[in-house]
Structure 1
Amino acid sequence: MESWTGEEATLLRSVMRESVRDFAGRLGIDPRTVSKWKQYPRRVCRPAMAQVLDLTLSQCGPTEQEAFRVRLAAQRGEPAPAAGDVPAVPASCTVVSHKFLPVYLGERSVPLFAAGTPRATGPGGLERRVLPAGHRSAHASTLHFYACGVAVAHLEEHRHVNSLTELAVWRYRTYQREPAWVGERLSLLLAQHSQGPGAGPSPVPQYMLSAYELRENSWTGEGLDTALQLLTTPSVLVDRQDPANVVPLGPGVEDAKFRDGWAHPEAVPFGGGVSRGIAGWSGVAYHPQSDERALTMQQIIALELDVQALWALSAYVLHMVEDGLDPVLPSEYSWRYLRSAFFRLTTARPTESAQHRMMREAILATSELPDRLRAAQDALRDTNP
């Protein structure tokens, strides 16, 4: 709201059904201030208090927010907003973050692949094995080693935040730490499992993609769509001029995105009528529903693991070409291997649901992996016919 009066603050307490003391405790103010709002309904609240009231309203559930706006309209003599017309605002939420950090190891990965626990192949049909990563703060962390010489770190972290800007700042700050941590962890494993002296230079992932599962939240309709868009493109909420000290862009930026219904022109939604998801170049956001038809987050993770592995493998090939070298891979992982993976990833399965197909197509389109795989195949075919 542009401003708050005592009347509006009292109305908020009413729809939240809280006593003067409880409401004051929630806001962190003296109960006498809450009492004065009712005594002086036309008095305008100070800007700092207005921000607190804005935040409190944003943390209310959809039913309470709608009741507040309907009753506020009635007090002002305005038409009541129609169902679904309630403006979306920033709010607290719970998300599960999945970070994927791929790196090409080549033959150095052979002992690590041998030491790993076999896992079922994913959508790309890539043989892989897994070792625990032992991340210090992640809810779960694993290292996936592929027979083709690629390793992909997967970090799962649970976060409850007061705003999506807070989450975006955390995300970019961890991006400064995680690649080096993964490199150190891989170096330690290579030293432990290497047969020869030394494990070579420390491998450092050069790319990171995130997938976010949006769990507890109060958004509905267009507000939910905006929240998913902001999860997919967090760069619009932060100042990244100094990568080592990413900060929020400023007050009101996230509010404006929700008010205007932010949507990135290159993000690709995938839904299917059961759940909502959006894929962008830097990540995927998904809000599942409790329905047996719903796409699961595990299906998205399985696809992302294979996509990131193939991205790293094709990047290695294309970097060699850029450096003026002939790309050479073991024959079993040359252009025919990439062609087979490309076919599996881009071909629909008879048992595939409509939402799963939309998710797969959205992630492949925004990652630009098909084009990279075709270019890598062509380069390898020239040197490994």
Structure 2
Amino acid sequence: MIAVEQWTGEEALLLRSVMRASVREFAGRLGISPRTVSNWQRNKTSVCRPGMAQILDTALGQCTPGEQEAFRLRLAALRGEPVPSATNATARPAPFTAVSHKFLPVYLGEHSARLYAVGAPTPPGPGGLEQRVLSVSHPSAQSSTVHVYACGVAVVHLEEHQRFASLTELAVWRYRTYAKESVWAGERMKGLLQQHAGDHSLAESSLVPQYVLSAYELRDNSWSGVSLDTALQLLTTPSVLVNRQDPANVVPLGPGVEDAKFRDGWSHPEAVSFGGGVSRGVAGWSGVAYHPQADERALTMSQVVALELDAQALWALSSHILHTIEGGQDPVMPASLGWRFLRSAYFRLTTARPTETAQHRVMREAILATSELPDRLRAAQEALRDSNP
């Protein structure tokens, strides 16, 4: 049995991560309020009281041997104490296939209307946002589309199928392509506006996406158990494998770094696991990694992509509103896109649906929690309410 000398919010969240439970499921299994779990997320250093520590000890004791081993390895890594493990001795870098999904959001405002008019209608996603799709040509992506939203945002979506010798190789590829993709997306958006709207008024710099978010579907691989968990963690936060001091020349940190991560069962303390017995996934600030199983109950990657498209659109919209305020101006939005619109989008994203499976709910909660999108939506909503009552 693993002994935790002092439970803090960080250890409690680590236990939740290896149990792959949502906030509500974890609270239910412990018999506590979901608010307590949320408080741990806000204050990870808070020390649990003796009664709560006893509850956590019991929950850890009821975990499967695999979950306990994962907790032991990740706890040691969290404390900087490498712990060799017989069950993880064979875990090491290995070749794998991944389907990369890159999301590049751009706020266009009123300039998006003509693009929206010529796009192909498509059903709304989880956020209930009206959108249309344009196909564009990308030099290497298997699929490249622009999702134009009625709220004035365009999200470029690139799907690429890649075979890598290691996770470090993927990390280098990821960061080296980010700058190129941003420039390409900006030029493509400018071309679309000129083609369909005859619009030459926007400066090119205003069309360059501010960031790129990635989601990976892990396919052919040789990992299992704890090593699979470690691989998904590294897919979600590949920055720990590379040196990014020179953004134009991202390079591996050095030989043995990835081996050490597997040996120690590395995990990011703020990443949130999701899934169930038939699939595994991890959501983090910079992306999502998912490994579906061949089972009809498993989530599909298309469900993850649909949520991320709406999430990135709302992130870009709320960022525009908040940046306007930071610049000393009051945000001015059409009445149809005022604070009530943001309130509606917030509730659609955060409220469970009767037809939603448990896996889909856990995935949704993990992505929203790590993106902090709900907080941004609330802040933007309040800003619009103050300036446009």
TM-score (norm 1): 0.77
Instruction: Specify the code of the residue in structure 2 equivalent to 1:223.
Output: S
3-state SS in 1 of match to 2:293: coil
1:321 alignment partner, SS class: helix
Corresponding residue of 2:203: 201
User: Which residue of structure 1 lines up, in the alignment, with residue 178 of structure 2?
Assistant: 175
Alignment partner of 1:242 is 2:282:
no
Task: For structure 2, list consecutive stretches of 5 or more residues without a partner in the other structure.
Answer: 1-84
The one-letter code matched in structure 1 to 2:188 is: R
Does structure 2 conserve the Cα–Cα contact (< 8 Å) formed by 1:96 and 1:213?
Answer: yes
Partner of 2:161: 158
Task: Indicate yes or no: 2:264 matched with 1:264.
Answer: no
- Contact 2:171 2:239 (C-alpha < 8 Å) held by counterparts: yes
Per the TM alignment, residue 86 of structure 1 is displaced from its structure 2 partner at its CA by 4.3
> Helix, strand or coil for the counterpart of 1:176?
helix
Matched-pair contact (CA < 8 Å) for 2:213–2:286: yes
Aligned-pair identity in percent equals 73
Determine if contact 2:145/2:158 at 8 Å carries over to the other structure.
yes
Q: State how 1:23-62 maps to structure 2 within 5 Å.
A: none
Residues 224 and 167 (structure 1 numbering): CA distance in 2 closer, same or farther, change over 3 Å?
same
Q: Report whether the alignment pairs 1:149 with 2:152.
A: yes
User: Which of 377, 383, 386 is the aligned partner of 1:379?
Assistant: 383
Q: Does structure 2 conserve the Cα–Cα contact (< 8 Å) formed by 1:212 and 1:286?
A: yes
CA contact (8 A) 1:95 1:214 kept: yes
- The residue correspondences of 1:166-315 to structure 2 (distance < 5 A) are 166-195=169-198, 198-202=200-204, 203-315=207-319
The answer (yes or no) to whether the contact 2:88–2:227 under 8 Å persists in 1 is: no
Partner SS, residue 358 of structure 1: helix
Cα deviations across residues 188-222 of structure 1 (Å, max 9, x unaligned)?
A: 010111256x2421211102110000000000000
Q: d(CA) in 2 for partners of 1:280 and 1:128?
A: 26
Match of 1:55 in 2: none
Distance 2:212 2:367 in 1: 15
Please point out which of 345, 350, 367 is paired with 1:346. Answer: 350
For 1:366 and 1:116, the matched residues in 2 are separated by 31
In 2, Cα distance between equivalents of 1:367 and 1:248: 26
Would you say the 8 A contact 1:150–1:312 is kept in 2?
yes
Aligned to 2:129: 126
CA distance 1:131–1:259, shift in 2 (3 Å): same
Tell me which of 137, 142, 149 is aligned to 1:139. 142
Asked which structure has the greater CA Rg, the reply is: 1
Residue 370 of structure 1 corresponds to 374
Q: Report the counterpart of residue 29 of structure 2 in structure 1.
A: none
Deviations 1:170-189 (A, max 9, x none): 00000111111000000001
Q: What is the alpha-carbon distance in structure 2 between the residues aligned to residue 106 and residue 127 of structure 1?
A: 15
- Distance of 1:110 and 1:216 partners within structure 2: 42
Asked whether the 8 Å contact 2:88–2:263 carries over to 1, the reply is no
Q: Which residue of structure 1 aligns with residue 44 of structure 2?
A: none
Q: Contact conserved, 1:239 with 1:249, CA < 8 A, in 2? A: yes
Shift of 1:87: 2.8
Which structure's relative contact order is higher, taking Cα pairs within 8 Å and 6+ residues apart?
Answer: 2
CA distance in 2, matches of 1:234, 1:157: 17
CA distance in 1, matches of 2:381, 2:88: 51
**C-alpha contact 1:191 1:199 (8 A) present in aligned 2:** no
Q: What pairs with 1:82-121 in structure 2 (closer than 5 Å)?
A: 84=87, 86-121=89-124
CA contact (8 A) 1:190 1:199 kept: no
Quick one: distance in 2 between partners of 1:345 and 1:179? 27
**Where does the alignment leave 5 or more consecutive residues of structure 1 unmatched?**
1-80
Partner-residue secondary structure (3-state), 1:177: helix
Counterpart-to-counterpart distance in 2, 1:182 and 1:195: 18
Scaled by the length of structure 2, what TM-score is found? 0.77
d(CA) in 2 for partners of 1:277, 1:157: 19
CA distance in 2, matches of 1:125, 1:181: 28
Secondary structure at the residue paired with 1:218? Answer: coil
* C-alpha contact 1:92 1:217 (8 A) present in aligned 2: yes
Considering only aligned residues, what root-mean-square deviation do their CA atoms show, in Å? 1.1
CA distance in 2, matches of 1:130, 1:261: 41
Q: Partners of 1:374 and 1:272 in 2: how far apart?
A: 30
Whether the 8 Å CA contact 2:89–2:263 is kept in 1: the answer is no
Matched residue SS, 2:121: strand
Determine whether 1:319 maps to 2:323.
yes
Find runs of 4+ consecutive structure 1 residues off by over 2 angstroms.
84-87
Alignment-mate amino acid for residue 235 of structure 2: L
